[in-house]
Amino acid sequence: MTTTELQPGAKLDQFTIVRAIGQGAFSEVFLADDSSGKQVVLKCPHESIMGDVATFDRFRRELEIASHLHHPGIQRPIEFTDNRSRPYMVMEYVEGETLRALLGREKKLSVEKAVDFGQQLADAMAYAHSQGVVHRDLKPENVLVTPDGRLVVTDFGVALMAGARRLTWRWFSTALGTPDYMSPEQIQGKRGDARTDVYAIGVMLYEMLAGRVPWEGDNALSVMSQHINASVPPLHELNSAVPPPIEGIVRKALRRSPDERYEDSTSLRSDLQHWRDLPLSQFIFGDEAIIGAPANSDLRLVLLIFAVSAAFLTASVFLIVLAYVIGHAH
């Protein structure tokens, strides 16, 4: 049975297809009922890559990696059916919508909601990293939002696990991640580590607060070039409601050099939890120290000119008085 034949009501072993709920570069995802009436998610590879040995490796690998993770913020896999004519993965069903769908509807989120979502993502990834797993493809399409506001991370298909061999892919962008959320080291072909996921969370935080990703372009190469070469557009210019410490946290997560980012998701989560108590000085990094600049640069210039003029006038008066006193003293 092909994915095009998996229409509502179709049977796949003990599962009955309810509806399609999403698709990616490699697979389609369906909501299904199992024979007991419980709802699950079936993840099936596209017909175009059926029979590809790498596809089987990818599916097995995703199940192996995700099966090590037991966290409320990570979607739980149930089983993998190793059938070359119709392989599929069975996963728990999480009621809700993707973060992409939410952002498409709301554009910008409130600071409180964005910070809460950032904390949840950092918490889930801190757990994954503690198990030796790096996601490498965090993006709004791979994050589910439940009706009560809980986030659940999905799709560990290109994740890395400590000690696992590296798979190669014919699809360059999918192998490394999604251009809008790729870290500079991924773009440079490096494996990445926990700080790679920190960077992706930083991009999503920026997007939740600004209503757009930090860098936009006409094509993937343009976007990837900006990740490596361009400075982060000041967040406060796109959303004046963002407090300076929050902007500082986002900028720190988006540092080009992994060594200058948060060392792990635990540190990022901690700063998001305690942002009101953070000194701005900890976010200053050379020429990229743009924290809470005044919204009106013209006013700042006027005040600077006024201060210089006042100092000059004061000095002039002092010299005149001093000359008068010296003159009369003689």
Torsion sign across C-alpha atoms 166, 171, 172, 173 = negative
**CA–CA dist 224, 261 (Å, integer):** 18
Set 13, 82, 116, 137: catalytic member = 137
Which residue in 233, 205, 24 sits closest to 99, CA to CA?
205
DSSP state of 211: S
Q: Render the burial of 179-192: b for 16+ CB within 10 Å, e for the rest.
A: bbbbbbbbbeeeeb
Please enumerate, as own/partner, the contacts of 255-260 that have beta carbons within 8 Å and a separation of 24 or more. 255/285, 255/288, 256/184, 256/227, 256/228, 257/184, 258/183, 258/185, 258/193, 258/195, 258/196, 258/199, 260/285
Q: Which SS3 state, helix, strand or coil, does residue 145 take?
A: strand
Q: Given the structure tokens 């092909």, which residue do they identify?
A: 2
- In the residue annotation, 137 being an active-site residue is answered as yes
Report the residue count for the chain: 330
Which residues are the active-site residues? 137
